[in-house]
Chains A and B, each alone.
Chain A
Amino acid sequence: MKRNNFISILAVLTLSALTLTSCLKDEKEVFDESPSTRLQQTLEKTKTILESQANGWVMYVYPKDPSTESMLMGYIYTVKFQDSKVTARSQRDNAGQKEETSYYKLTNDEGPVLSFDTGNSILHYWSTPGASSSQYQGRGGDYEFNILEATNDHVTLIGKRYRCIAELVPLQKEASEYIADCLAATVAQDSYFGITCGDVKGLAEFYVTSTYQVLWIGYNETSVGEDGAEAVEEKEIMVPFVYLPDRIRLYEPIELGGQKFQELVVDPVNMTVNVLDGQGVSFGHPHSYLSADQIEGNYTLTYNKKSADDNEDVRTIDVSLERIVDGEGNVTGFKMNGLNENWAPVLSYDDWWGELDLRIQNLGRVTTNQNGYVRLCFADLSYFNWTLTSNTWPYSSTTNFRYNVSGTYYNNCYYTCTWDEKDAAKPTIGINYCGYTYSSRLYNSWYLNCYSTATGTTNRYALDLTSGWGFNIPGTGKPAAAGEEGAETESSVVLPYPYSITKK
């Protein structure tokens, strides 16, 4: 009997538990439509928005290194959506002049998704893999994106594989024109984003470098510990960006000295970079920056033509640095005139850093023999431990250069060359430049090879031009900020060696 009571109680409990749970009356629909209907509506709405822009959209993407997953750079596409097709251009493919059309689809395999799902070499550039072990993962770009937000003037996506935000902003002009504007701006702005220091309110100074559309900012942050002692911590921010016609846009807002900002714009008059959406932040050129205007001019090259018995014999030559301008008006380098009427070495100019740079170069050709080049060479004998062997080449009477080619092979240094000049009134001079290939800066010294037509022998003399990058220009050695303490004001700079090039 007891047992049966127990069973019946159990039966009642079980039944009531079942009936109670079947009847949750406060279950309300939060949305009027089912999730799948809303998803479908989102896709349809997004399609209408995407296809509504007559000129299409500019799309900012940020490919990641597939191995390290750090962002590589910012990159611009233009995408025009029409009749289920997308026409794309990029900052890379023939400078935006090439376009390619493929299909796209809006689908819902992982929430609302925009997928560039038929082949398009422009849109799939960053995703294309290759057989090599460094390439089998592609280049870290996405072609399928989750749609985070879509409005008529802004679409935000996130890459499905690499989870980087991609933004779409309507184009106000033809895609090809827009990319041309961006590329022009890239050239114009590059020099300003090569800046190496700036100021933020509350921070003394920070350092900025920019390569391949990644901004690197390093600075020291001072904090006061519990014991009152100041601790300095080195901080760095790396953020990729895209070049827009009038500004750069960072991948995401960054915070510096209490200021938050995402867009920067160049002020070419004051040579500064200003922050659009933050106050009190400015970027400027480093103290050592030299503009092309500051560099161009007449110089005196002083060198020491040591005699065979090592006696000092300081001489000077008048030289001038003459700017070389490319088709777009950019200063790419300077010709050093005056050393020799037959040749003038070219110093390339890096307008990111405001620095001059002398590299291996052919100065001229004295025979049609493949080795008949008069070559400005890199060879620091002390550093690279060269062995010199003599190997005299045919003498060319027409140019009256005498030269020989010697030296053992090292990196890009194939030859040391010596030659002399017919005009005896000028010092016979050959220049070997020493340095090493991995640094583009001046390494240590120039060598002057002086050939004596009387004895037929060549003497090598060190001509040291090191001081920073070798050239001191009085009064402008530290041009960054007028009146700033420590700026160079002397009319000439004494080098630790008795050799210098001095601006007149």
Chain B
Amino acid sequence: MKRFAKYIFTAFAAVALMSSCEQDNPDTSISVITLDKVDKTPFDYWLEANYVNPYNIQFKYRFELNESDVNYFTIPAKYDDAVILAHLVKYLCIDTYDEVAGIDFTRAYFPKMFFLIGEWEYRNNGTYILGTAEGGKKILLAGTNYLKGYMTSAANLNHYYIKTIHHEFTHILNQTLSYPSDFREISDADYIADEWNNNTSGYLTRGFITAYAQHSDREDFAEMLSEYITNSAETWNTWITNAGDAASIINAKLDIVRTYMKQAFNIDIDKLRATILRRQDEVMAGRVDLTTVEVK
């Protein structure tokens, strides 16, 4: 009992000591975190209406050190070019998936952030990076200031900007629902990781649709889909013909891609291709206003 009393005393003493402290009540009406007060541009309002509100997608066209990769030397994107690129991404990618798979699909899976820079990310060996994707969420689009120069053909637009988005989007879909391991087994022995860069010819006859597809099964899958949907049937068939004996390899992989897209997301890749090509043609024919920042 005596022992118990001692404990009680100790406890009371402690409570007494604690309560002797003055209360420091923070003023909750003032936030200690202040946000940048950067004035909005007309383009910001357009993005709000076309990206943020309908899709919760951030389209960062102004340079931010924290979004950039400091291992590379680059410059900010030009405003006018960023406006055009935002329209292109919207019209050729977002709207396409809305049309083919429904807006809920786009909202659920399409990358939530784009970050634009003006130049490519140059390495010291003369090669450069067109774009990257991070964690299924963010897509870096480089070389924005060259956009007008590549608007001359759909092939260029795809090569430098748009195909990158479809490619990275494929990764996101794969991360959401993985594709069957049968895919990997088809070319398993021929994946060469970074060595692809030294084997940039003859890839078709080895059963790959692009040189980069030789990197790994993940890249192969993304290349298969993004190349298929951004190129015409004629172009694709020419590649298949040029692949010779390896055509069966590509076709086998395409079958898996086709089935996967249908079963996992109910997307018919031929319909997707037709939609993309139609929209591409409309852009090329100048029927799409790519410069307006007017909010309707």
Contacts and interface: CB of A to CB of B under 8 A. Distances in A.
Interface of A: 4, 8, 11-12, 15-16, 18-20, 22-23, 25, 34-37, 39-40, 43-44, 66, 83-84, 102-103, 105-110, 115-120, 124, 127-133, 135-138, 143-144, 160
Contacts of A160: 65
B138 interface: no
Nearest to A7: B7
Contacts of B144: 119
B75 A43 contact: no
Given A36-B34, A124-B76, A117 B64 contact: yes
A95 to B, nearest CB: 23
B73 A143 contact: no
B128 to A, nearest CB: 6
B73 A119 contact: no
Given A12-B13, A105-B38, A160-B65, 19 more contacts: A8-B3, A11-B10, A12-B14, A15-B17, A19-B21, A20-B17, A36-B34, A37-B30, A83-B39, A118-B77, A118-B79, A120-B78, A124-B76, A128-B118, A129-B122, A136-B123, A137-B73, A143-B63, A143-B75
A44 B37 contact: yes
B79 A102 contact: yes
Interface residues on B, range: 35 or more
B162 to A, nearest CB: 20
B93 interface: no
B20 interface: yes
B74 interface: yes
Contacts of B75: 119, 124, 127-129, 138, 143
Q: Which 3 A-B pairs have the closest CB atoms?
A: A119-B78, A15-B14, A136-B122
B294 interface: no
B66 to A, nearest CB: 6
A22 B7 contact: no
B38 A23 contact: no
Nearest to A160: B65
Contact of A119 (B76, B123, B125): B76
B124 interface: yes
Nearest to B66: A109
A278 B7 CA distance: 78
Given A22-B21, A128-B119, A118 B125 contact: no
B245 to A, nearest CB: 37
B56 to A, nearest CB: 23
Interface string B1-44: 00100110010011001101110000000101110111101000
B209 interface: no
Secondary structure type dominating chain B contacts: loop
Of A8, A43, A136, chain B has the most CB atoms within 10 Å of the CB of A136
Contacts of A35: 32
28 contacts: A8-B10, A11-B7, A15-B10, A15-B17, A18-B14, A19-B21, A22-B18, A23-B20, A23-B21, A40-B34, A102-B76, A103-B41, A103-B79, A109-B64, A117-B76, A119-B76, A119-B144, A119-B145, A120-B76, A124-B75, A128-B75, A129-B72, A129-B119, A131-B120, A131-B126, A136-B73, A137-B73, A143-B75
Contacts of A105: 36, 38, 62
B129 to A, nearest CB: 11
Contacts of A130: 122
A61 to B, nearest CB: 15
A18 B13 CA distance: 12
A36 B35 CA distance: 9
B34 A138 contact: no
Nearest to A135: B122
Contacts of B124: 133, 136
Nearest to B7: A8
Contacts of B30: 34, 37
Interface in B122-148: 122-126, 128, 144-145
A36 B32 contact: yes
B146 to A, nearest CB: 11
A133 B125 contact: yes
Contacts of A144: 63, 65
A184 B190 CA distance: 65
A106 B20 CA distance: 45
Contact of A84 (B38, B82, B122, B123): B38
A116 B7 contact: no
Contacts of B66: 109
B78 A43 contact: no
Nearest to B144: A119
A28 B118 CA distance: 47
A128 B74 CA distance: 6
A430 B17 CA distance: 109
A119 B81 contact: yes
B114 interface: no
B118 to A, nearest CB: 5
Contacts of B64: 109, 117
A385 to B, nearest CB: 39
A110 B65 CA distance: 9
Of A8, A23, A129, chain B has the most CB atoms within 10 Å of the CB of A129
B140 to A, nearest CB: 15
A137 B128 CA distance: 12
Contacts of A117: 62-64, 76
Contacts of A108: 34, 36
Contacts of B122: 129-131, 135-136
B110 interface: no
B37 to A, nearest CB: 7
B20 A118 contact: no
A75 to B, nearest CB: 16
Contacts of A133: 124-126
A115 B63 contact: yes
